[in-house]
Chain A
Amino acid sequence: MNQIAASMAAAGLPDGFHLAAAEMFVRFPRPVPDSRE
Chain B
Amino acid sequence: MTEPIVIGLLHPGEMGAALGRCLIGRGHQVLWASADRSGQTAGRALASGLSDVGTVAAVAGRAEIIFSVCPPHAAIDVARSVAGFGGIYIDANAISPQTASQVAEIVTGVGARYVDGGIIGPPPEVTGSTRLYLSGAAAAQVRGLFAGSALEARIAGEGRWSASAVKMAYAAWTKGSAALLLAARELAEAEGVGDMLTAEWELSQPGLGVSHAAASGRRQPRDGAGLRR
Contact = CB atoms under 8 A, between A and B. Distances in A.
B14 A4 contact: no
Interface in B64-108: 72, 94-99
Q: Is the interface of A mostly helix, strand, loop or mixed?
A: helix
B215 A37 contact: no
Given A10-B98, A32-B217, A3 B168 contact: yes
Given A30-B217, A36-B174, A4 B179 contact: no
A6 B120 CA distance: 19
Contact of A36 (B122, B169, B180): B122
B158 interface: no
How big is the A interface, by class?
20 to 34
Contacts of A30: 215-217
A3 B96 contact: yes
Contacts of B176: 4, 17-18, 21
A32 B175 CA distance: 14
Nearest to A29: B217
B168 A37 contact: no
Interface in B160-183: 164-165, 168-169, 171-172, 174-176, 178-180, 182-183
Interface string A1-36: 111101110100000011011101100101110111
Q: Point out which of A28, A31, A32 has the most chain B C-beta atoms below 10 A from its C-beta.
A: A28
A8 B216 CA distance: 24
B105 to A, nearest CB: 16
A32 B131 CA distance: 21
Most A-side CB within 10 Å, residue of B94, B123, B168, B178: B168
Given A21-B176, A30-B215, A31-B217, A37 B94 contact: yes
Contacts of A34: 174, 178, 214-215
A7 B186 CA distance: 27
B217 A10 contact: no
Given A17-B176, A21-B179, A36-B174, A3 B94 contact: yes
Given A34-B214, A35-B14, A35-B15, A7 B172 contact: yes
Contacts of A4: 96, 168, 171-172, 175-176
Given A1-B175, A4-B96, A34-B178, 11 more contacts: A3-B95, A4-B168, A4-B172, A18-B176, A20-B179, A20-B183, A21-B176, A25-B175, A30-B215, A35-B123, A37-B178
6 contacts: A3-B168, A6-B96, A6-B98, A21-B178, A21-B179, A37-B94
